[in-house]
């Protein structure tokens, strides 16, 4: 059937803004009918062409809907300070603001007033609309900028955004917006972490029979805070620092760990922390995350990590009641180091020696293994090989109370820090690409966004967003 559109609806799409939405909708409907016809008569077009064109046909209708919605909401917002609730004084109307939305540029007029209590000028409509902390983007565009920038390099993010949504955000602008959202996320995280600690103190928590597993790790990131100042720094006798630690942690309830049909271990719910702001920041963030995940009610806690000294210091200090376990695979690596000192490159001999020891370490007592290592050492002549073995024996003695693998396996607990290492790897995919440099504040902001996403808290930053990656 051939469709005919009334002349009034056929007029140009970029029409006057005072037209009723119904008229704009009728006009969009005509354009859509036309696009369907175009699809049918053009043999080189497939449904993808209509998908694109239809979105274009309704774009102006949607833009004007947004614009009117924004204006109506701004007009309905009372002149009250959103921070302290005080009525604003010296209120004046008609302050124009332009921003980009998913459907194009939007301009609105808002009231501005002075809050005597905060001693600040306020535009309550901006807060009501979600436009307060942005360089000029609607909440949906802020959301996309934040997500894409935390998932991929900026130049790629800019191209992907334009391809998927039609919204053009040049690299530098996208970068700035994402960082701004990241800074906002840091403030929100700080507040959430404080609330978690306070809540724990207030609640009379009953213990439940689950264990909380906490795993920690660290990796290097390349930053250019002192970029271009290397010579000047060296003149002052300082070596410019390029590589910095990213501290990472994960926590989950043992009863949230299960298996896929194929037998692969999976964790249904877990918390994730990554920070560039040092060990103290990790300590606070990971503790708050563990509290949110139920540490306060756990019958016990277990820390699993590699042999790094900072980790065990932090564990003793922050979670003194928790049991500690050295990652099994790190222990095996140290056994292998003894093997290499004994057999050099003779792989067959090394394997034959190593295998039974690994089995003993896993299924029996680590003390038995240590005794054998001590015997090996006692039989060795003085020299570099003996020194290497002595070092490893020292390592096992230092960590022997963290090597209860047999009991751990019997209790169904993990003996390796696989989950936190997988977490590190995933984060590195984004933050440690070849040739990439970061600045401390920049990568902390983006990393913070990443933790909101992975912990299923994106909706706290962007209340319109209902998608939860933690549940998908």
- Cβ proximity to Zn ion: between 84 and 197 the closer is 84
Contacts of Zn ion in 116-135 (CB under 5 A): 117-118
- Cβ proximity to Zn ion: between 86 and 229 the closer is 86
- Cβ proximity to Zn ion: between 123 and 301 the closer is 123
Closest separation in Å from C-beta 96 to Zn ion: 23
Closest separation in Å from C-beta 112 to Zn ion: 13
- Cβ proximity to Zn ion: between 114 and 245 the closer is 114
Contacts of Zn ion in 143-202 (CB under 5 A): none
Closest separation in Å from C-beta 111 to Zn ion: 15
**Terminal-to-terminal C-alpha distance of the chain:** 43
- Cβ proximity to Zn ion: between 72 and 83 the closer is 83
Closest separation in Å from C-beta 94 to Zn ion: 22
Closest separation in Å from C-beta 121 to Zn ion: 10
Q: Which helix (H) or strand (E) holds 253?
A: strand 243-253
Stretch 54-93: interaction string toward Zn ion, x if CB under 5 A: ---------------------------x-xx-x-------
Closest separation in Å from C-beta 194 to Zn ion: 21
- Cβ proximity to Zn ion: between 78 and 344 the closer is 78
Residue whose entry in the numeric block shows the structure tokens 């963290």: 402
150 to each of 156, 165, 432, 437, how far by Cα in Å? 11, 18, 12, 14
Closest separation in Å from C-beta 288 to Zn ion: 28
Contacts of Zn ion in 86-115 (CB under 5 A): 86, 115
User: How far apart (Å, rounded) are the C-alpha atoms in residues 137 and 179?
Assistant: 13
Closest separation in Å from C-beta 79 to Zn ion: 12
DSSP for 374-436?
Answer: HHHHHTSPSSHHHHHHHHHHHHHHHTGGG--HHHHHHTT---S-HHHHHHHHHHHHHH--TT-
Q: Which helix (H) or strand (E) holds 89?
A: strand 89-101
Number of residues located near Zn ion, criterion CB under 5 A: 7
User: How far apart (Å, rounded) are the C-alpha atoms in residues 85 and 79?
Assistant: 10
- Cβ proximity to Zn ion: between 38 and 89 the closer is 89
Retrieve residue 443's tokens.
Answer: 């990568």
Q: What are the strands of the beta sheet with 89-101, ordered from one edge?
A: 89-101, 104-115, 120-122
User: How far apart (Å, rounded) are the C-alpha atoms in residues 61 and 91?
Assistant: 32
What does the buried/exposed string (b/e) look like for 362-392 if buried means 16 or more CB atoms within 10 Å of the residue's CB?
A: beebbeebbeebeebbeeeeeeebbebbbeb
Stretch 401-440: interaction string toward Zn ion, x if CB under 5 A: ----------------------------------------
- Cβ proximity to Zn ion: between 111 and 455 the closer is 111
Closest separation in Å from C-beta 285 to Zn ion: 30
List phi, psi (to 5°) of 244: -135, 155
Retrieve residue 47's tokens.
Answer: 């449904």
Closest separation in Å from C-beta 114 to Zn ion: 9
Residue whose entry in the numeric block shows the structure tokens 């016990």: 300
Pairing, β 298-305 against β 323-326: parallel
263 Ramachandran zone, left/alpha/beta (phi>0; psi -120 to 50): left
The CA-based angle 340-344-350, given to 5 degrees, is 60
Helices and strands (H and E) in the chain: how many? 19, 10
Q: Which of 431, 38, 377 is nearest to 246 (CA)?
A: 431
- Cβ proximity to Zn ion: between 124 and 294 the closer is 124
- Cβ proximity to Zn ion: between 113 and 442 the closer is 113
Closest separation in Å from C-beta 120 to Zn ion: 7
User: How far apart (Å, rounded) are the C-alpha atoms in residues 240 and 231?
Assistant: 9
- Cβ proximity to Zn ion: between 124 and 416 the closer is 124
Interface residues with Zn ion (CB under 5 A)?
A: 81, 83-84, 86, 115, 117-118
């Amino acid at each position: 059937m051939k469709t005919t559109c009334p002349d009034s609806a056929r007029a140009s799409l970029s029409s006057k803004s005072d037209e009723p939405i119904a008229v704009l909708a009728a006009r969009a409907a005509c354009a859509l009918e036309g696009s369907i016809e175009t699809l049918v008569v053009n043999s080189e077009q497939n449904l993808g062409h209509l998908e694109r064109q239809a979105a274009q046909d309704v774009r102006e209708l949607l833009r004007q809907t947004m614009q009117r919605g924004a204006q109506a909401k701004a007009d309905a917002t009372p002149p009250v300070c959103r921070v302290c609730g005080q009525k604003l004084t010296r209120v004046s109307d008609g302050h124009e603001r332009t921003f980009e939305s998913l459907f194009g540029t939007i301009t609105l007029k808002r009231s501005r007033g002075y809050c005597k209590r905060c001693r600040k000028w306020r535009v309550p409509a901006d807060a009501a609309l979600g436009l307060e902390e942005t360089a000029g983007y609607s909440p949906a565009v802020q959301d996309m900028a934040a997500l894409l920038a935390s998932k991929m390099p900026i130049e790629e993010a800019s191209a992907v955004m334009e391809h998927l949504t039609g919204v053009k955000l040049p690299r530098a602008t996208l970068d700035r917006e994402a960082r701004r959202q990241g800074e906002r996320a840091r403030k929100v995280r700080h507040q959430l972490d404080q609330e978690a600690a306070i809540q724990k103190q207030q609640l009379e928590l009953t213990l439940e029979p689950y264990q909380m597993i906490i795993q920690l790790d660290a990796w290097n990131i390349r930053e250019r805070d002192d970029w271009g100042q290397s010579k000047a720094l060296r003149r002052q006798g300082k070596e410019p620092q390029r590589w910095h630690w990213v501290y990472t942690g994960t926590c989950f309830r043992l009863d949230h760990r299960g298996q896929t049909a194929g037998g692969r271990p999976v964790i249904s719910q877990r918390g994730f922390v990554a920070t560039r702001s040092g060990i103290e920041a990790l300590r606070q963030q990971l503790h708050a995350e563990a509290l949110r995940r139920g540490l306060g009610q756990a019958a016990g806690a277990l820390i699993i990590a590699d042999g790094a000294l900072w980790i065990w210091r932090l564990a003793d200090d922050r979670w003194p009641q928790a049991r500690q376990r050295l990652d099994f695979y790190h222990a095996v690596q140290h056994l292998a180091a003894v093997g290499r000192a004994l057999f050099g490159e003779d792989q067959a001999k090394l394997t034959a020696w190593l295998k039974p020891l690994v089995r003993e370490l896993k299924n029996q007592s680590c003390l038995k293994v240590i005794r054998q290592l001590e015997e090996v050492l006692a039989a060795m002549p003085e020299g570099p090989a003996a020194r290497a073995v002595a070092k490893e024996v020292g390592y096992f003695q230092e960590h022997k109370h963290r090597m209860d693998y047999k009991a751990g396996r019997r209790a169904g607990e993990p003996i390796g820090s696989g989950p936190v290492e997988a977490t590190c790897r995933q984060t590195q995919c984004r933050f440690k690409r070849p040739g990439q440099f970061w600045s401390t504040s920049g990568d902390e902001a983006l990393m913070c966004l990443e933790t909101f996403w992975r912990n299923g808290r994106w909706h706290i930053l962007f209340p319109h967003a209902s998608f939860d990656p933690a549940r998908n």
